A and B are shown apart, each in its own frame.
Chain A
Amino acid sequence: MTLEISGLNAGYDGTPILRDVSFNVGDGEIVGIVGRNGVGKTTLLKTIMGLLDPESGSIQYNGEELTGKAANEHARRSIGYVPQGRDVFPTLTVRENLLVGETVGGDDETRYEQVYDYFPILEERAGQDAGTLSGGQQQMLAIARALVGGPDLLLVDEPSEGVQPSIVQSITEDLEEINDEFGTTILFVEQNLSVIQGLADRCYAIDRGTIVDEITGDAVSDQENLEEYLVV
């Protein structure tokens, strides 16, 4: 098992957000965490990435306990992160953003060729400040920035947020291809139904900070199953 979360509790300044969260992600899987706004999806990914210290519980990655380690230590263990709202470095150029992502990847030029294959627009705009890109292009850059680090596990926070529908479709296909081509395990959180159905092998539904359901197999493509956890 690649990622094994058990009994995870986390929050901000003593306010609990995640309550006793347990789930797992297998090698090469694409797993979605689905839920409405404000149920703890982003907090969950931040805690897994080491950006937020859990109050209790365990995060095991390839058998190693990660709790208590800083985010840069997580990145060094080949965990890539695509933050909510992209969070590209706005006054750094596209190429400089990728260079920051390469911090843990070693000096491997072929990775740049690979991400430029997926996202040719980034090569065209390599010298442009990232803050001047459109929302969709920034999302591509955020994914590419994580990919140049050569991740085995990719954590993606709401890839559809603030991106126009045609680009959402193409980003969904790109993530699926990345999983196919490199065997990258993907854990994503999302509330956009078409992204969840287009991407996930399996889903966990989260509500009020706790996992309330696991949706597997054909049930993922059944709209009613998912809507229960997405519609307010």
Chain B
Amino acid sequence: MTSGFGATGALTPLIIGDFLGFLDSIGVPVVQLLQIADNFAFITLAAIGLTVIFGMMGVINLAHGEFIMMGAYITTLSVNVASLPLPVAMLLGALGTAAFGAVIERTIVRRLYGRLLDSMIVTFGLGLILTQGTRIIFGNTLQSIGTPFGEVPGYTYSGYRVLLMFVAIAVLSAAYLVFTRTEFGIRARATIQDAETARAMGVDTDRMYTTTFAIGSGLAGLTGALYAPSATIVPGMGQAFLVESFVTVVTGGSTVLLGTTLAGGVLGTIDAIFSNLYGNFFGQLALLLTAIIVIRLLPDGLTGLAYRIRDKLGERQ
């Protein structure tokens, strides 16, 4: 199976391998760093779609995991059935899930803004339908498409998983730029803060809600697409992302995209340490405990803490 990444695909693990070898030679704990990087990528990518839909729009989307599953299925089927190159299949996975999100917003979610409990029940039901529907149509599992790039030379670590860390940073940066530097992003944030006033300023708020929800869905689909090569493709695969995603958004706090990045770093490190020492179960337990402690001590999440530190430093100068 070709990875579809061409010459860059062959070079990437070599470059990463050389770089890691250099770090190892100067005494940096490379294996632990790789574990943290891998966890950072998983946690931030798991959360990125929810960051927009829950963090910005306030919709508790319990079908978030199934949106990720949908991205993974579209990607895998595009490679297995249509023989498309992996990057094209991944793009289709993201775009297909975005389009599905737009339809769901127009038909269902639109009626549920500001109705927290109702939206939880409806999206939970949507998740069940998507999981069972996928099982009925495609069976219990899909044939894996295989992980590109092989292992990082000198380490028993997947080169692709290392690459995902850089992809996670790129996706977070792109989402940040879209919502803070473009006219669309500023109008979308205005709509979410005060739809009535935004509408009076001429903003087509219905379109803003649909587009923002579609972007959140598309980002979830992209996460599924990115993990499709290295995950087991089953209808219930989205559940593995759900806990991490909510914990990350809640821990991150009010400035959601910055919060997801900070939370990804903190939670990724904690998960890596506890999983290494005591196994995955305790890694997950440590994540939940961290979330509880952060919410208890920092009501505004990690971004609230970051802003307080910034203000303190500002006062001193």
Contacts and interface: CB of A to CB of B under 8 A. Distances in A.
A71 B203 CA distance: 9
B201 A81 contact: yes
Contact of B201 (A90, A91, A100): A100
B194 interface: yes
A90 B196 CA distance: 14
A108 to B, nearest CB: 14
A104 B201 contact: yes
B189 A149 contact: no
Nearest to A75: B202
B231 interface: no
Contacts of A164: none
Contacts of A70: 199
Chain B contact surface mostly: helix
A51 B199 contact: yes
Interface in A57-97: 70-72, 74-76, 81, 83, 87, 89-92, 96-97
A92 B201 contact: no
Interface in B155-208: 183, 186-187, 189-190, 193-194, 196-205
A96 B200 contact: no
A89 B194 CA distance: 7
A72 B186 contact: no
Contact of B186 (A76, A100, A104): A100
Interface in B114-156: none
A92 B199 contact: no
Q: Is the interface of A mostly helix, strand, loop or mixed?
A: helix
Nearest to B203: A103
Contacts of A104: 201-202
Interface residues of B, number: 17
Interface residues of A, number: 26
A41 interface: no
A145 B201 contact: yes
A89 B202 contact: no
B246 to A, nearest CB: 22
Q: Which of B189, B190, B205 has the most chain A CB within a 10 Å cutoff?
A: B190
Contact of B202 (A51, A76, A90, A91): A76
A72 B194 contact: no
Given A87-B194, A99-B186, A49 B201 contact: no
A136 interface: no
A51 B186 CA distance: 21
A132 to B, nearest CB: 12
Interface in B199-235: 199-205
A99 B202 CA distance: 11
A92 B202 contact: no
B200 A89 contact: no
A92 B193 contact: yes
B203 A89 contact: no
Contacts of B205: 72
A99 B183 contact: yes
Contacts of B187: 99-100, 103
B201 A75 contact: yes
- A-B pairs with lowest CB-CB distance, top 3: A75-B202, A104-B202, A103-B202
Interface of B: 183, 186-187, 189-190, 193-194, 196-205
Given A75-B200, A87-B194, 16 more contacts: A51-B196, A70-B199, A72-B203, A76-B202, A81-B201, A83-B197, A87-B196, A89-B189, A89-B193, A91-B189, A92-B186, A92-B190, A96-B186, A99-B183, A103-B201, A149-B202
Interface of A: 49-51, 70-72, 74-76, 81, 83, 87, 89-92, 96-97, 99-101, 103-104, 145-146, 149
